[in-house]
Amino acid sequence: MTEHIPEITDSHCHLDFPDFAGEIDHVIARAQAAGVTRMVTICTRLSAEPQVRAIAEAHAPVFYAAGTHPMSAAKEPMVTLEQLLTLAEHPKFVGIGETGLDYHYTAESAAVQRESLRIHIAAARQTGLPLIIHARAADDDMARILAEEYRAGAYGCVMHCFSSGPELARAALELGFYLSMSGIAAFPKSNDLREIFAAAPLDRILVETDAPYLAPPPHRGKRNEPAFAAHTARVGAQVFGLDYGEFAARTQENFNRLFAKAAAWGRAG
C-alpha cells in the first residue's frame, strides 16, 4: 500500500531511450511505488515521436512532449510550426520541446538552434502548452530570446534540469517561468545551485529526473529512472525548509498549473 507516500510528478524523463528497452512496465511500477504517479516522457527528435506517443498511449501515468533538442537541431529537418500544432492535438501531448540552446557541445549550430527555438516558442504561444527549455552555456542568448519572444506574446515555460547561473534564473522567474530541479540539485557539490533554488518562489518549482541521466544520490553514476525523482524532491524539501509531504504537494500544484492539460486529464479520468 502506498497511500501514505506523498505524490509527485517526474516532469521530464526519456522513457523511449534504449536504456529502458523491455523494462518500461517495471520502471513505471517502481515509480508509482515511490509516489511518482505521473511522468512526462520527452521526445527529442520528431522522427521518434511515434514511439514516444505509443508509450504515453500504453501507460496511464505517462504523458509526453515533443520537439527538436538543440543538440540535434542541425542534424534533423527544421521543425515547422504546423508539425508542432498537429502533434499538440493528441490528448496526452502536454508540452512543447525540449528545445533551447546548447553552446557547450554544439556551439557551431547556434544560429540554427536559435531559429528552431523561436519556432517552438511560437507553438507554445499558440497552443497554450508549456515550453520545455534546455539551456547550457548560453545564458545570455537564452535570457534575451525568451524575453524578446515573451514581449511578442505571452507563453508558459519550464527551465528543465535548471543548472545555469543566477542571472538566467532571475530572467526566467521575472517572465513567470518555472525552474525544474533534477538530480544535479542533489549532488553534494551543488550548493550554489541549491541557493538559486532557495531564492526562487516556491510556486515556481518542479521536480524531474531527466532519466536515464543525472541520477541523484544514492544512485549517482547509475541509470536514472522516474522513481528517483523522490530523492531529488526530498532534497528540495530541505532547500525550502519544508517537510516532504508539503513540498511534494506544492510541486504537484505547480505542475498542475503549468501542465494544465495533464492535470485536466487526471480530472477527466
Question: Model confidence over 138-150: pLDDT tens digits?
Answer: 999 999 999 999 9
Q: With 50 as the cut, is the pLDDT of residue 232 above it?
A: yes
Q: What pTM was estimated for this model as a whole?
A: 0.97
d(CA 77, CA 75): 7
Listed residue (34, 16, 6) closest to 211, CA to CA: 16
Listed residue (113, 131, 119, 121) closest to 75, CA to CA: 113
Work out the percent of the chain whose per-residue pLDDT is above 90: 97
Domain boundaries, the chain: 8-264
Express each pLDDT in 46-95 by its tens digit: 999 999 999 999 999 999 999 999 999 999 999 999 999 999 999 999 99
Q: What is the pLDDT of residue 4?
A: 84
Using the structure block, give the residue that is written with the C-alpha cell 518542479.
Answer: 206
Quick one: cell of 110? 547556434
Q: What is the rounded average pLDDT for all residues in the chain?
A: 96
Q: With 50 as the cut, is the pLDDT of residue 126 above it?
A: yes
Residue type, 92: K
* Cβ(170)–Cβ(250) below 8 Å: no
Q: With 70 as the cut, is the pLDDT of residue 114 above it?
A: yes
Q: With 80 as the cut, is the pLDDT of residue 112 above it?
A: yes
Quick one: cell of 213? 541521466
Q: With 90 as the cut, is the pLDDT of residue 14 above it?
A: yes
d(CA 266, CA 21): 27
Superfamily per CATH, domain 8-264: Metal-dependent hydrolases (3.20.20.140)
Express each pLDDT in 33-47 by its tens digit: 999 999 999 999 999
> Three-state SS for 12?
strand
Q: What is the pLDDT of residue 269?
A: 45
Q: What is the pLDDT of residue 3?
A: 52
Q: What is the pLDDT of residue 26?
A: 98
Q: What is the pLDDT of residue 242?
A: 98
